[in-house]
Chain A
Amino acid sequence: MNVSPRQALDAWFTASGWTPAPFQIETWQAYAEGRSGLIHSATGSGKSLAAWGGPLMAGLTEQTTAAGHPATGLKVLWITPLRALAGDTLESLQQAATGVGLNWRVEKRTGDTGASARRRQRERPPQALVTTPESLALLLSYADADTRLRGLQAVIVDEWHELLGSKRGVQLELCLARLRAINPGLRTWGLSATLGNLDEAMRTLLGPGQTTGTLIRGAAPKPLRIEALLPTSTERFPWAGHLGTHLLPDVIAHLEGPGSCLLFTNTRAQAELWFESLLRARSDWLEGLGLHHGSIDRRLRERIEDGLRAGDFRCVVATSSLDLGVDFAPVDRVVQIGSPKGIGRLAQRAGRCGHQPDGQSGVLCVPTHALELIEIAAARRAWQAGEVEARRPLRQSLDVLAQHLVTLAAGGGFDAPALREEVRQTHAFAELSDEAWDWTLAFVTHGGPVLEAYPDFQRVLRGQDERYRIADRRQASRHRMHIGTITSDAAIAVRYQGGGYIGTIEESFIARLRSGDVFLFGGKSLELIRVRELTAYVRRATRRRQAVPRWQGGRLPLSSALAGRVLELLAEARAGDFTEPELAAIRPLLETQASWSSLPCPGELLIERTQSREGDHLFVFPFAGRLAHEGLATLVAWRLGQMTPATYSIAVNDYGFELLSRDMPVLDAATLRRLLTTEQLIEDLFASMNASELARRQFRDIARVAGLIFQGYPGRGKSARQLQASSGLLFDTISRYDPDNRLLDQARQEVLENALEIRRLEDALETMTQSAIKLQETERLTPLAFPLWAERQRNRLTTQTWQDRVMRMVEQLERAADRS
């Protein structure tokens, strides 16, 4: 009967057919010593049990001391980024607890948890609770939060890399600081996939005050084979936008084999198109094809996930909605459509694939245009070199802080000086100034300094005991409905006229359609009947599709790690080295580029200038990703305009940007240097772009998080209507009557960081300053310039005329290339 906790755990491992891995034992020891830390290890290597073992053993020790009586009160919080994940996690945690003989209940609490389950959890709290950052914040918004969470021993944050770098991460940092204040001995452990900045990830999770974090490196990533589907012939003039379905026959051939496949696309539109194309080509696969993306009804998605677990599918077409979280047995093949854009992302997707006979898991990348072949080779190189992107944590998000203050006010209330110091224990607010704190506090109490004169606003009140509490129950319940930092475009439900629910779609897409228009959604051709009160009523269309929804997102820039490798590969081609099969496959393209202009290489900035009937084209190739290029292009156009007034059209992609004008001044290297200087960068950027318009759009998220947007209570639509105002309108009103509002500053800062990737833009300018400028006058569009030209046409023309026009241009250029 004298079994030590470790022996019990080992026995359960043995009974399950496993042996504890060294990194798991290391974590258990660190936990036993009361330490916190971060575990990173390959998917499926036992990260969860590494983190769970410590609390289990601590629980067994207590159980022995208490002579077998179950522990009372919550001991462990397990935070997961996806509520879809909570069910699977709960099962495996409970299994392990029962397996080692620990008398613990593991339960979950997410947005889906019903009222009766919540009540039960209140009366008889489980020892371990699986929850999301939002539900944790919600727990803190109840008056007895402190009592209920006292006694908590550990918080384990699963998939921390998914939260890091987002406002959800900031929200969790704040909640963790609160939990540590309630329980000073609290241990925090994070689980993460490989990141370029693991140390920073750990410091962010544990808070800057914690200096003794333990970084545990687990199993090395599985060997990964990154291969490209090499087309038999490649175009010399690539253009992004036709969605790569010309490789459909090859992909189908790849799917023919036995076993299951996941086909990942970068956008939901692409997923819809591939699903439809596969279905049309192989109607006999009807039962074995699935479609999974974030806009599809959750129940449909769950059905697909269950099918994946059961092995019912030959192929599921998915977006990042299946990147993480959903737990199912590895599939036999993973296909990536289009450039992976980032190494971490490709590795995560490839991790869905089980071992193949050679002991590697593999991913087949399908280029949607010729230049993407280089990106695929670049991803392989970077992966082999162990290079992965970093995710930078956010700082000073006052909107999240404001929300947190109201949350705590609704909970037990707070003492301002103490909370200020507590908040400064987080990475996000370590450098929070007194002024910013005072402003945020004023914002949640009387709406900010400007609103002080208007007593009609009440949200948080300071009591006579100096404690801040929520004004009334109505405010508290309203706030609870708005907790969270995930925002999306106004979603329109898509339903059949008979009532069947299909999914949600962004309002901006539906707004462009008229009754009778046909669009592709959820793998179906649907005809729009009418839109009424946030619902689009549709019927099955008999005609073929006309429009594919373009959802927001999906225009991810090429990561700088990948962009660097692309440049390196181009330099190899320039030196005549075509060893990489992908480079060999597009050799004609690269040679045409070299002979008409030049191939880019590190240390040299390629600029091409071409004349056409449209005017003067200037193509610049900094390889800094599309977002930074957007900023650069606008900046250069504006600076050019300061020299000679003219109008410029702009196009950007991940490699460079194009400026087009009827009257472009003569440009020599010295002038170009002046256009690309880092001096006055921020001033010029704000002057050049309609930055206030961008900030106005950015304000949407901020207004929602900070509680400026009222979404009403479910079922009380009518009275909520009085309180509807778009975030743009709020932005205008606040800019006009309260210009010092710090949320406006935050919007501008977020525009710089998110919309323009300001750091990357600065780095790119810095690199360009140190590079030699290679200015090429070219007779016609080169293979690198062509995709930019095509991109600009796309912004001007409707889809059909755009494709026709691009095809005509391709033919002309191909003829010219054949002659030369």
Chain B
Amino acid sequence: MTPLTLNLGDHALTLLPEGAVFWTARRTLLVADLHLGKAGVFRRAGVAIPEGDTAQSLARLTALIERHAAERVILLGDSVHASPGDDPALIASLRAWRHHHSSCAMTAIIGNHDRHLAPVAELFEWQIEGKTETGLSLRHHPPEQSVDTPWLAGHWHPVVSLQGGGDRLRLPAFIQVGIAGLVLPAFGGLTGGLPIARAHDYQRFACAGDRVVALDAALRE
């Protein structure tokens, strides 16, 4: 695996090809948009979608926690797709997973999908977006106006489309917005994506298999 290191404000952040950020100085793993339990929401509405994604997303997260010996995990919003109260199986697997990582601190930013959280309230330290930790603002929605405080967010589910030689690829991507912001790709499997085109104040980093690739020429240094 070939990660890539990025400086946001004074913080060195490692972009992992799995679509997560590792904040080495604080031994903290950050991911966004898990949308756990999404397949179940579809099934309850009568759309026949097989299960598997929730377990897979949690297993991928476990692998990252263990590989990087993370002491803390921060979920940047939309961790569950809909009211977990409707989905006993989801609550059970979340509990078991959380128990497995009981030594790890876990903070979850409340995103627009995170509602009616009572059944999972004790599993995470739920926190509204915009709080700052050692100078880094933790958000779900990227701010609409540019701000000076460095920030991390999700919500967009950014992907990039690459074309060449008659081939087309869609890859999850990190988007650096200006110099201060970073949008993480969606970590959940059943999440889709918003294609982000090249733009003057974006720097896009594609998660290409076992490496993270910087796509756009470096911004003003």
| Bound: A708/B43 CA distance, A | 10
30 examples of A-B residue contacts, CB within 8 angstroms: A443-B48, A447-B43, A451-B43, A453-B51, A454-B51, A454-B89, A456-B44, A456-B87, A457-B44, A457-B46, A459-B48, A478-B45, A647-B165, A649-B166, A693-B168, A707-B48, A708-B49, A722-B41, A722-B113, A723-B41, A725-B192, A728-B192, A729-B190, A729-B192, A733-B52, A733-B53, A733-B190, A737-B51, A737-B52, A738-B50
**Neighbour of A471 across the interface among B46, B87, B192, CB < 8 A:** B46
User: Which of A454, A459, A737 interacts with B46 by CB under 8 Å?
Assistant: A459
Give the CA-CA distance A647 to B166 in the complex, in Å.
10
Known: A726-B192, A729-B191. 13 other contacts (CB 8 A): A451-B50, A456-B43, A471-B46, A693-B168, A710-B47, A722-B81, A722-B113, A723-B41, A725-B190, A728-B192, A736-B189, A737-B53, A738-B50
Asked whether A450 is an interface residue with its Cβ less than 8 Å from the other chain, the reply is yes
**Is A447 in contact with B48, judged by CB distance below 8 angstroms?**
yes
Most buried by A among B42, B50, B113, B166: B50
Instruction: Report the Cα distance A728→B168, complex, angstroms.
Output: 14
Q: Cβ of A454 and Cβ of B43 under 8 Å apart?
A: yes
Q: Provide the B186-199 mask, 1 if CB < 8 A to any CB of A, else 0.
A: 00011110000000
A723 vs chain B, min Cβ distance (A) = 5
Within 8 A of B (CB), among A237-285: none
Expressed in whole angstroms, the Cα–Cα distance for A443 and B168 within the complex equals: 32
Residues from chain A with Cβ under 8 Å of B50 in the complex? 447-448, 450-451, 733-734, 737-738, 741
Q: By the criterion of a CB under 8 Å from any partner CB, how many residues of chain B are at the interface?
A: 29
Give residues of chain B (40-99) contacting chain A, Cβ–Cβ below 8 Å. 40-53, 81-82, 87, 89
Interface residues on A, range: 35 or more
| Residues on the A chain within 8 Å of B53, using CB | 733, 737
Proximity string of chain A (719-756) to chain B, C-beta cutoff 8 Å, 1 when within and 0 when not: 00011011011100110111001000000000000000
A454→B192 CA distance, assembly (Å): 23
CB distance B47 to A707 under 8 Å? yes
- Partner of A733 from the list B39, B81, B167 (CB cut-off 8 Å) is B39
Give the CA-CA distance A175 to B141 in the complex, in Å: 49
Which residues of chain B have C-beta atoms less than 8 A from A710's C-beta?
Answer: 42, 45, 47
Chain A interfacial positions (CB closer than 8 Å to B): 443, 447-448, 450-451, 453-454, 456-459, 471, 475, 478, 647, 649-650, 690, 693, 707-710, 722-723, 725-726, 728-730, 733-734, 736-738, 741
Residue of A647, A693, A728, A734 touching B49 (CB-CB under 8 A): A734
Contact A736 B49 (CB under 8 A): no
Q: Is the CB of A447 within 8 A of B49?
A: yes
Give the docked Cα–Cα distance between A708 and B48 (Å). 6
Closest to A712 in B: B45
CB-CB < 8 A to B41: which residues of A? Answer: 722-723
- Give the distance to chain B from A587, nearest Cβ to Cβ, in Å: 37
With CB as the reference atom, state the residue of chain A lying closest to B195: A511
Residue contact A733 to B165, C-beta cutoff 8 Å: no
- B residues less than 8 Å from A708 (CB atoms): 47-49
Q: Are B82 and A478 in contact (CB under 8 A)?
A: no
Which of A456, A459, A722 lies in contact with B82, CB distance below 8 A? A722
Q: How far is the CB of A712 from the nearest CB of chain B, in Å? A: 10
| Chain A residues positioned under 8 Å from B191 (CB to CB) | 729
Instruction: Give every chain A residue within 8 A of B87 (Cβ-Cβ).
Output: 456
Alpha-carbon distance A454/B41, docked complex (angstroms) = 12
A457 near B166 with CB under 8 A, answer no
Among residues of A, the one whose C-beta sits closest to the C-beta of B38 is A725
Q: How far, in Å, is B91 (CB) from chain A's closest CB?
A: 13
Shortest CB distance A517–B (Å): 14
Give the distance in Å from the alpha carbon of A280 to the alpha carbon of B148 in the complex.
53
The distance in angstroms between the C-alpha atoms of A734 and B87, with both chains bound, is: 20
Chain B hits for A456, CB < 8 A: 40, 43-44, 87, 89
The listed residue with most B CB atoms (<10 A of its CB), out of A448, A471, A693, A733, is A733
**Chain B residue with the shortest CB-CB distance to A634:** B166
User: How far is B52's CA from A450's CA once the two chains are assembled, in angstroms?
Assistant: 10
Task: Enumerate the 4 nearest inter-chain pairs by beta-carbon distance, A residue then B residue, closest first.
Answer: A447-B48, A737-B52, A457-B43, A737-B50
Complex alpha-carbon distance, A604 and B53, angstroms: 55
The answer to whether A457 touches B48, judged by C-beta atoms less than 8 angstroms apart, is yes
A710-B165 Cα distance, complex, nearest whole Å:
35
| Complex Cα spacing A450 to B167, Å | 33
Q: Shortest CB–CB separation between residue A326 and chain B, in angstroms?
A: 37
Chain B residues contacting A730 (CB-CB under 8 Å) are: 49
Instruction: Determine the chain B residues whose CB is within 8 A of the CB of A451 once the complex forms.
Output: 43, 48-51
The answer to whether A736 touches B192, judged by C-beta atoms less than 8 angstroms apart, is no
Q: Are B48 and A736 in contact (CB under 8 A)?
A: no
Cβ–Cβ < 8 Å partners of B166 in chain A: 649-650
Q: Specify which chain B residues have a CB less than 8 angstroms from the CB of A736 in the assembled complex.
A: 52, 189
Q: Give the Cβ gap from A700 to chain B, nearest Cβ, in Å.
A: 14
Q: Does the CB pair A478–B46 fall under 8 Å?
A: yes
A459–B49 Cα distance when bound, in Å, is 12
Docked CA distance A734–B47 (Å): 12
Most buried by B among A448, A454, A478, A708: A454
For residue A458, which residues in chain B have a CB less than 8 angstroms away from its CB? 46
User: Is B40 in contact with A454, judged by CB distance below 8 angstroms?
Assistant: yes
- Contact at A448–B48, with CB atoms within 8 Å? yes
The contact of B42 among A647, A693, A723, A741, by CB within 8 Å, is A723
| In the complex, chain B residues 156-181 whose Cβ is within 8 Å of any chain A Cβ | 165-168
Residues of B within 8 A of A707 (CB): 46-48
A605 to B191, CA, bound (A): 49
Chain A residue contacts of B39, Cβ below 8 A: 733
Q: Which residue of B lies closest to A743 (CB)?
A: B48
With A and B bound together, what is the CA distance between A453 and B39 in angstroms?
13
Q: Whole-angstrom distance between the alpha carbons of A582 and B173 in the complex? A: 56
Q: Give B69 Cβ to nearest chain A Cβ, in Å.
A: 29
A475 near B48 with CB under 8 A, answer: no
Q: Are B40 and A723 in contact (CB under 8 A)?
A: no
The residue on A at minimum CB distance from B43 is A457
Q: Which residues of chain B are near A453, meaning CB under 8 Å?
A: 51
CB neighbours (8 Å) of A443 from chain B are 48
A728 to B44, CA, bound (A): 21
CB of A724 to closest CB in B, whole Å = 8
Contact partners of B40 in chain A: CB under 8 A: 454, 456
Q: Are A725 and B42 in contact (CB under 8 A)?
A: yes
Query: Which residues of chain B (186-219) have a CB below 8 Å from chain A?
Result: 189-192
Which residues on A sit within 8 Å (CB–CB) of B51? 451, 453-454, 737
A725→B192 CA distance, assembly (Å): 7
Residues of A within 8 A of B113 (CB): 722
Least CB distance from A755 to B in Å reads 16
Which residues of chain A are within 8 angstroms of B81 by Cβ–Cβ distance? 722
Report B148 CB to chain A, min CB distance, Å.
28
**Residues from chain A with Cβ under 8 Å of B38 in the complex:** 725
How far is B190's CA from A447's CA once the two chains are assembled, in angstroms? Answer: 18
- Whether A723 lies near B47 (C-beta < 8 A) is yes
Q: Which residues of chain B are within 8 angstroms of A734 by Cβ–Cβ distance?
A: 49-50
In angstroms, how far is the closest chain A Cβ from the Cβ of B139?
A: 21
Q: B42 contacts which chain A residues (CB < 8 A)?
A: 710, 723, 725
Q: Check if A733 sits within 8 Å of B189, measured CB to CB.
A: yes
Q: How far is the CB of B190 from chain A (nearest CB, A)?
A: 5
A725: chain B residues within 8 A (beta carbon): 38, 42, 49, 190, 192
Q: What is the minimal beta-carbon distance from B196 to any residue of chain A, in angstroms?
A: 13
Across the interface, name the chain A residue whose C-beta is closest to B88.
A456
Chain B hits for A738, CB < 8 A = 50
How long is the Cα–Cα vector from A475 to B47 in the complex, in angstroms? 10
| Chain A residues within an 8 Å CB radius of B167 | 690
CB contacts (< 8 Å) of B82 on chain A: these are 722
